[in-house]
Amino acid sequence: MQKILVARSIFPDVIDRLKQYFDVDANQGDVLPADELKRRLADKDGALTAGEMIGADVLAAAPRLRVVSNMAVGYNNFDMAAFNAANVLGTNTPDVLNESTADFGWALMMAAARRIAESEHWLRAGQWQKWSYDGFLGSDLYGSTLGVVGMGRIGQALARRAKGFNMRVIYHNRSRVAPQIEAELNAEYVSKQDLLRRADHVVLVLPYTKENHHTIGAAELALMKPSATLTNIARGGIVDDAALAQALREKRIAAAGLDVFEGEPNLNPALLDVPNVVLTPHIASATEATRRAMANLAADNLIAALGEGPRAGQPPNPINPDVLGKARS
């Protein structure tokens, strides 16, 4: 029987499902340290991960490993050059979290724009003594301009929500989306600089790559309106968190909502010292239905990639399909 490692705690029924096909080493405790991850992968044919860093050193220490199934859309935790060199398949879990993530991005954007977290902290601290006309004045979403950076499936889901708020939608993407999608979303393609200058609310929904590192830094923040908000539901590292904290402190932009951070779960302590930012611990996809769908899709990928189940040899979501069927090198 083939052996797999489930590197991160997941739903017990998904582990039971995997046990129908594999000898399962399931970590249901804390995140595995890097050396423990290597040790437990040494004799494994496959692995199910949720953000663990898998690079050339890890692959070299696991000569039997043929597939790593990531329970996430993003896979910047995979060194794909190393995967390709070793003929190891990587898989991910796209689509099943689009709507939940878009819902959360919208909530985070609204919370930042209307100063919900800031006012709640003030209320809980016992500072509310009277109503005032200028108390916690925020900014409207209705009738404003939404700027989406990264018009993939989640970006498009956000743009669809903008229709109900009568918002103008502008977007920037690595490549322009199809004309019919632009027409459906009533979205205008613009340069990143134009988007930052024009948008009242900027939302980041692009994958993390080396090229996208600090897509939003001090220079980009300087282009934004003082009344604008920035929401990041993409990946940590896309925003220069130190530059953002300074811009928020100096009120060079109005507010921000962040679900992802550089170096998470650690975060820049400067972000904790500014009141005009909403901080959440990477939970944009955190509904039970969505997380279950992600876990089961990750299991589907792993089962199929290791030649088991009804889709044997045809995993639903290969990242590097060219290695399918090739011997491990």
| Distance from chain centroid for Cα 149 | 13
Distances (CA, A) of 107 to 95, 118, 161, 203: 20, 15, 11, 12
How far is residue 31's CA from residue 9's CA, in Å, rounded to a whole number? 8
Q: CB under 8 Å to 129, separation ≥6 — which residues?
A: none
| Residues labelled catalytic | 235, 264, 282
Q: Could you tell me the two tokens for 272?
A: 């904790």
Instruction: Evaluate the CA torsion angle 304, 306, 312, 318 in order and state its sign.
Output: positive
Beta-strand relationship, 3-6 and 23-26: parallel
Neighbours of 329 (CB within 10 A): 10
Which residue from 172, 112, 167, 163 is spatially nearest to 142, judged by alpha carbons? 167
Neighbours of 37 (CB within 10 A): 21
Which residue from 248, 195, 187 is spatially nearest to 224, judged by alpha carbons? 195
